[in-house]
Every structure is written in structure tokens, then in C-alpha cells.
Chains A and B, each alone.
Chain A
Amino acid sequence: MLSEEYLVQQAVNGNQAAFTQLYNQNFDRIHRYIYIKVRDRAEAEDLTQDVFIRALESISSYKWRDLPFAAWLFKIAHNRVIDHVRKQSKEKRAPLEEAYAKSVEDPIQMTERDYEVYQLKAALEQLPDAQRDVATLRFIGQLSIAEVARTLGKSEGTVKALQFNATASLRKALHGKLDG
């Protein structure tokens, strides 16, 4: 299998097939990362496509030594989500509970899995911003500590501390709801 760095270099040089392969490798996790951070599926799908189109448009200026490719991609996703949320805030974004209630016509028909994902979203939403950013990049985006640090512009030590605290908070939120 071709190394990611080789593929990225090929993509930077204009090899479309190499970019497509990178796209295939990262599509699902970028989608998951965005999905967990926005209101609903439609928003996640819009933003996911947008991230890859922007990556395609910017790949020629990408330099591996500055930022690992996955971190670069997640940075685009991170910035797009922030822009999106800001825009929504200006339009008086509804709380997750309210948005969720509106999007589910019949809660009884909601599958258990959907509900578990919703619980996770709600638990993440309760975290302080810095913890939430680390938790989503680490546990949902599956980035390494070093990649998370580079994506967020923080030290690895800080990221580890935020990860630890975020996990403790998530445990309380998720298990509290499950136990209750």
C-alpha cells in the first residue's frame, strides 16, 4: 500500500487519482467529525462535501512538513464547522434539544442507535470548547495526540490534559443518563 506521504505528494503535484485515494481514506471520519458537531445530517453532508472541495482547491499549496495531511484536512473541517456555527448563532441557533425534537417526528420510532448518538452529541455539547475540540478530534476523528495538537495549535501536554478531563466529563454525562 502506498504511504500517505507519497500519496499526498502525488496529489500536491496534481495527480487526481492520488487525491481521490486520500479522499476515500478520510471521507468517513471527516463526515463523522462534522456530523457530531452540527445540528443534523443535512448540515453535516453539506459541510463534508465543502471540506473536500476546499481541500482539492488548496492541495497544490499544501506542505507536509508544516502539518500532517490528516491534521490539515481536519483543520479545514474544524474551521468550516466554526464558521457554520457562528453563522447559525447569528441566526439564533436553537439548542440541540429543541433542534432534535423538531427533527424527530416520532421519538418512539427513533432507533436506539440514533438515540445513543444523540446522547453523545448532547454530552459533547456540554463540554467546555477546548475539551470538546480535543474529544471530537481524538475520539471521533481518530487523530493522534500530535495531530490534534497541531490542528488546534496547542502543546501535546495540554491536549492530553484536555483529553483526560473531557473523558471524565463524558463519562459522567453518558453514564449519568444511562444509569438514570
Chain B
Amino acid sequence: MDRKLDDIFNECYERIRSGESLESCLRSYPQHRAELEPLLKTTFDIGRRVSYIQPRPEFKHWARVRLESAQRYPRQQTPAETPGASTWWRHSWAVAVTVVLVLVLTTGSAMAASSQALPDQPLYPVKLATEQVRLALAVSDTQKAQVQTELVQTRAAEVEAMANAGKMEEATKAAERYNDQFEKAIAAIINAEGTEPQPVVYVPPTETTPPAVTAPPEVTTPPEVTTPPEVTTTPAVTTPPAVATPPTTATTDNVTAAKTKHWKGSLEQSTISSLTALKDAKEKASEVAKPDWQKAIDTVSKKSQKKSPTATDTTSQSDNDTAPSPASPSPTKQSPSKWHR
């Protein structure tokens, strides 16, 4: 019995994919040449067009960052954060801590002063402590992500301030703090995303039983809680734009997605502004000091460039290959994407 044409077509397609020429395959089936040739040429045409689809380098970079963060900080499959007893107690505890700390810190206006403190100033440890209060007040994953993202902005402002002042050692330390805070923010954002209700996964009909794609458990949306009181602000000299809470008139899914995108855009902007300041400082520095400034630049870059032991790529840590750098097309100026809308 003659083979079906669709089977022959498939064989030729496979042979050509393996390196054989079109002509060689057509010679095997001269009686079908007229039908096979245009169809096989169409597969070439499709392949050529598909080759034009390449992920943007910035997207690949941030997708990799996100994956590595997800590997380091797996989503916590916690129950929905509904206003129940445990949440109430946690909230109460946070309020109690806040009240005590605020009472202590507001004495002598220490807190107000500390909110402007830079890393080289005596009140800086107080500023860090008040940030912990803000974090304690953040009850839901969404609030935590919001605060952690704002703290990345604060750390970025400190890097900028130290770099602009030419304080290399302080700038390097600030870059390390930025690095740590960035990772915390990424983890918090991923957790916040995990609280988004997941749609039911469609499984096409099949006779075999492939492994089910485990969908995250259905969770309800965390209750909208009023933003905790502003306990600290970023340094006055380089106050970054506040991480505004996106409008809440859309659906819950859309709101969560919009917030997530906003946070990620904010993180990128913070990285760019930190790197810009550090690179400017490096330019102005003496030749002897340039390597030290480069270390600070690398530290900020490293937050998203950490390599897994067997990763095949060999991206260096120099500022030349830092993905979202001001020299490269600014992510904020790109068309919309997961990180840039």
C-alpha cells in the first residue's frame, strides 16, 4: 500500500532539518515532487520568519533574574491572608512594636531626623531601625512587596548620594546594602504574585495520563489594608519618586498585575540610577581609585548577575555588560513588557 503523502512530507521535513538538501529528498519521491516541493519550501519560509523572533536582551536578563530569585526564594504556599485570628494577632503585634518604637524614636525628634540620614551620618542606624518597623507593619504580601520596593529606592538614593559626594568606601557599602535589599524585594514581589488567584489550567483530552501541571492552590486576595503610616522618607537630596500604588478600580487580577509591573519597573529604575551615579563617580575619580569604584558598580550589577555553578554563559561582571545600564537602551523607554510597563 502506498504511503500517505502526509507521512512522506513529514519524512522529508525531518530529513531536511537534519541537514539533507531539498533536492535530495525530492529525488526519493519523484512522483510527489510537484506536491512536496512547494510545501517544503513553505516550511523554509516559516522557519525564516520564526528566526526573526528573538527575545529582547533586557527581557532575557530580567527573566533570568526572576528565575534565580524564584530558585532562591520559593513561593510560600501560605494560606490566604484573610482577616482571621492569626492575622489579627500578627497585626496587633506589629502595631504594638510600632507604638513602642515610635514613642522611643520620636523623643527628641530622632526619627524625623533619621529619615534624612545618609550612611555616613550618626542617625543612619535609627533610619534602618524605622524601616524594620515599616516592614513589621506590612501585613499582606502585597504590602510587604510595596515596602521592600520602596526600600530599594531608598538604598539606591543612598548609593547615589555617596557616589555624588565621591565617598568611595561608603558608596561601596551602600552598593552592598542595595544588593541585599534588591534580592529581598524580588522575593517579596514573587510572593505577592503568588497570592494572585490562579486560573484553572486547561488540559487537552488525552488517553495517556501525563503529569498534571500543579497549579498553585487557589487563594483569595489579601484584604486591602490601608497603607501603614510613613515612618521614614528617603534622603532629601536624592529623593526618588514614590512607588505609587496603582489604581484599585480594575479587577483584582489586573490590580495585582499592575502593581507587580510597577514595582519591577521601579527596581529597574533604581538600578539604573545607582549605576549612573557610580559610573559618573568613576569617571571623575583618579586612575588609582577607578578600580575601587568599579567594585561598587559590580556589586550593584551582581544582584542580577549571580551565576549558577554550571551556567553555560560567561557574562563578565564589568559594568559594560550590566543589562539595564544607561548606556544601553533604557528599559523604561522600551515598549511595554513584564518589567517595563
Query: Is B67 a contact of A56 with CB atoms below 8 Å?
Result: yes
Q: Please, how many angstroms separate the alpha-carbon atoms of A160 and B10 in the complex? A: 7
Interface residues as binary, A141-174 with B (CB distance below 8 Å gives 1, 0 otherwise): 0000100001011000000110111011011001
**Which residues of chain A (55-106) have a CB below 8 Å from chain B?**
56-58, 61-63, 66-67, 71-72, 75-76, 78-79, 82-83, 86-87
Contact A53 B10 (CB under 8 A): no
Chain B hits for A16, CB < 8 A: 71, 308
Binds A, one of B51-59, B135-143, B157-165, B289-297: B51-59
Q: State the main secondary structure of chain B at its contact with A.
A: loop
CB-CB contacts of B55-91 with A at 8 A, as 1s and 0s?
1100110011011101100110000000000000000
Tally of B interface residues using CB under 8 Å: 60
CB of A49 within 8 Å of the partner chain: yes
A57 and B214 contact, CB distance less than 8 A: yes
Cα of A6 to Cα of B288 in the assembled complex, Å: 49
Total of A-B residue pairs, C-beta within 8 Å: 166
Contact among A48, A67, A113, A160 with B63 in the assembled complex (CB-CB below 8 Å): A48
* Contact partner, B211, options A46, A61, A163, A171, Cβ 8 Å: A61
Contact residue among B205, B310, B337 (Cβ-Cβ distance under 8 Å from A21): B310
Bound CA span A32–B338, Å? 16
Question: In the complex, which of the residues A17, A24, A66, A145 contacts B10, with contact meaning CB atoms closer than 8 Å?
Answer: A145
Complex CA–CA separation, A61 to B56 (angstroms): 31
Tell whether A119 pairs with B49 under 8 Å between CB atoms, given A53-B70, A75-B210, A170-B42. yes
For A167, what are the chain B residues with a Cβ–Cβ distance below 8 Å? Answer: 9, 39, 42-43
Contact residues in A for B203 (Cβ distance below 8 Å): 79
In the bound assembly, the distance between CA atoms of A165 and B216 in angstroms comes to: 38
- Per the CB 8 Å criterion, the residue count for chain A at the interface is 66
Q: Does A140 contact B (CB under 8 A)?
A: yes
Q: Are B55 and A27 in contact (CB under 8 A)?
A: yes
Interface residues of B (CB under 8 A from A): 4-7, 9-10, 38-39, 42-43, 45-50, 52-56, 59-60, 63-64, 66-68, 70-71, 74-75, 190, 199-211, 213-214, 216, 308-313, 335-338, 341
Task: Supply 4 further A-B pairs (C-beta < 8 A) apart from A42-B337, A164-B39, A167-B39.
Answer: A23-B64, A45-B338, A160-B9, A165-B6
Name 22 A/B residue pairs within 8 A (Cβ), A-sorted: A16-B71, A21-B311, A23-B64, A24-B311, A24-B312, A28-B54, A32-B50, A35-B53, A36-B53, A45-B338, A48-B55, A53-B66, A53-B190, A58-B214, A61-B214, A75-B213, A83-B201, A117-B49, A164-B9, A167-B43, A170-B42, A174-B42
